[in-house]
Copies of this chain bind each other. A is one copy, B any other.
Amino acid sequence: MVDDTSLNRLVELFPRFASMSRHELVKFAEKSNARIVEDAPREFIIRKGVATHEISCLLSGWAYRYTVLPDGRRQILAFKTPGDFVTVHCLCQTELPFSVQALTPTKRLVMDIKSIIDGVRTIPSVSHIFYAIGCHDLAVAEDALVGLGRRDATEKISRLVLKLYYKQRNVGLADDLAFEFPLRQNHIADATGLTTVHVNRILRQLRSAQILNVEKGMVEIRNLDELLSLADMAPDELDSYPVLPRGWEDINGIEATA
């Protein structure tokens, strides 16, 4: 069973859940056996090829999703921060083609997949929420695709930092231009498709140019305009990077409280 404050936190982090009535939400949480789980850094949340029967929403901390090729090359697919669902694929596939590991200590709201699927069938707002999350993750993945295919190292790294900055800011975890940033240089490398050595050199450059400091688990953006320009990003591009996709109501004419 899950306490009341965690449900509040869920709604707060994940505004779309506000579309469910309090009653619906509680009923939903009970039915899906919602519970809080904590993980230590490096702990596996999902292990590649091992069947999963849960879906979880990150309440605090950082995690990352990745695959490693037979010869050891690793690609990080996504970083997960508070408000993110760790995986939506898992509603379709029990055995997933990637692993997820905690980067910092994390706290998750975990639910049974089976009841989510029931929910998708019976509670309209649940169906909306998970469909929207799936579309959002797809959009994020495809944005990353463009980055990996067609951007150089400086662009890739600047974009990664900026996206994580806005992501954190959206959930109130980055007030000014400095914020907690638990990635090591090898995480940045594996997310951008570069080498740690090269990441290091680019970061040094950015540091000595007084643009960006990535050190000791913190990021400090010292020249936002310059960084945005290096990242080939419009200042408003990231405001359109919402915690959840917008526009759903616009299309289908359903009021948020339906």
The 8 A CB mask of A38-63 against B (1 = contact, 0 = none) is 00000000000000010000000000
Contacts of A181 in B (CB 8 A): none
Stretch in A18-26, A112-120, A213-221 with 4+ CB within 8 Å of B: A112-120
Does A127 have its Cβ within 8 Å of any Cβ on chain B? Answer: yes
Of the candidates B92, B95, B145, B151, which one forms a contact with A132 in the assembled complex, judged by CB atoms under 8 Å apart?
Answer: B92
Question: Which residue in chain B gives the minimum CB-CB distance to A95?
Answer: B247
Contacts of A232 in B (CB 8 A): 69-71
Q: Is the CB of A77 within 8 A of B142?
A: yes
Q: How many copies does the complex hold?
A: 2
Q: A94-B250, A127-B120 are in contact. Are A135 and B74 (CB under 8 A)?
A: no
Question: How far apart are the CA atoms of A89 and B52 in the complex, in Å?
Answer: 26
Contacts of A77 in B (CB 8 A): 142, 145-146
Question: How far apart are the CA atoms of A36 and B218 in the complex, in Å?
Answer: 55
Question: Which residue in chain B gives the minimum CB-CB distance to A52?
Answer: B251
Contacts of A149 in B (CB 8 A): 75, 148, 190, 192-193
Question: Which residue in chain B gives the minimum CB-CB distance to A193?
Answer: B149
Smallest distance from the beta carbon of A59 to chain B beta carbons, Å? 23
Of the candidates B93, B95, B135, which one forms a contact with A88 in the assembled complex, judged by CB atoms under 8 Å apart?
Answer: B135
Of the candidates B53, B131, B150, which one forms a contact with A73 in the assembled complex, judged by CB atoms under 8 Å apart?
Answer: B150
Question: How far apart are the CA atoms of A70 and B229 in the complex, in Å?
Answer: 12
Question: Which residue in chain B gives the minimum CB-CB distance to A132?
Answer: B92
The 3 closest A-B pairs by CB, nearest first: A149-B193, A92-B135, A148-B148
Q: 14 extra interchain contacts, Cβ-Cβ under 8 A, other than A77-B145, A92-B132, A93-B247?
A: A70-B232, A71-B232, A75-B150, A88-B138, A91-B131, A93-B135, A97-B142, A117-B251, A117-B252, A117-B254, A127-B131, A145-B145, A149-B190, A149-B192
